[in-house]
Amino acid sequence: MLISPQGQVTPAGILPRLKQFTVIGVFEAGHYEYDSGLALIHLVDAQKLYRMEPDQVSGVRLKLHDLFESTQSSTRIVSFILT
């Protein structure tokens, strides 16, 4: 059961959104903060859970081989998105 802290406001307080998922795999990243609280779900399921439009995302995470290419990479990504 996944509980989203972004819930519905009611006179009794905020009711969190709940969605049941089936776990199909478990992995360890070797980093406690990820291993203890990271769950990966399909983009469409996340958009429904957070009530987003089908073409919306809340962020993008990248891992680059060369940290010094971050400015050039982000510029290329933004120009791609805007075209």
User: How far apart (Å, rounded) are the C-alpha atoms in residues 64 and 29?
Assistant: 17
- Please indicate, yes or no, whether the overall pTM of this predicted structure exceeds 0.85: no
Q: For the chain, first and last CA: distance in Å?
A: 38
- Per-10-residue mean pLDDT for the chain, 83 residues long? 81 85 90 87 88 85 86 88 80
User: How far apart (Å, rounded) are the C-alpha atoms in residues 41 and 43?
Assistant: 6
Position 22 scores a pLDDT of 93
User: How far apart (Å, rounded) are the C-alpha atoms in residues 23 and 80?
Assistant: 34
Query: In terms of C-beta distances under 8 Å and separation of at least 24 residues, what long-range contacts does 26-34 make, across chains too?
Result: none
